[in-house]
Amino acid sequence: MGLREEKKLATRAALSWSAIRLIVQRGYDKVLVEDIAAEAGVSPRTFNNYFGSKAEAVASRHLDRCRRMAEVLRERPAGEPLWDSITHAAIEVFKPGPEVTAHPRPDRDAWAAGLQLMLTVPAIQAEFLRAAATAESALADAVAARTGTDAAKDLYPNLVAAAVLAAQNVVSQSFLSNRTSMQALMTNALRQISEGLPPPE
Between CA 200 and CA 57 the distance in angstroms is 38
127-169: pLDDT as tens digits: 999 999 999 999 999 999 999 999 999 999 999 999 999 999 9
Q: What's the pTM?
A: 0.87
User: Is pLDDT at 122 greater than 80 in this prediction?
Assistant: yes
Between CA 133 and CA 146 the distance in angstroms is 20
Give 57's contacts (C-beta < 8 A, 6+ positions apart). Answer: 15, 16, 19, 36, 47, 50, 51
Fold of 55-194: Tetracycline Repressor; domain 2 (1.10.357)
* Nearest of 140, 163, 142 to residue 152 by alpha carbon: 140
Between CA 57 and CA 186 the distance in angstroms is 24
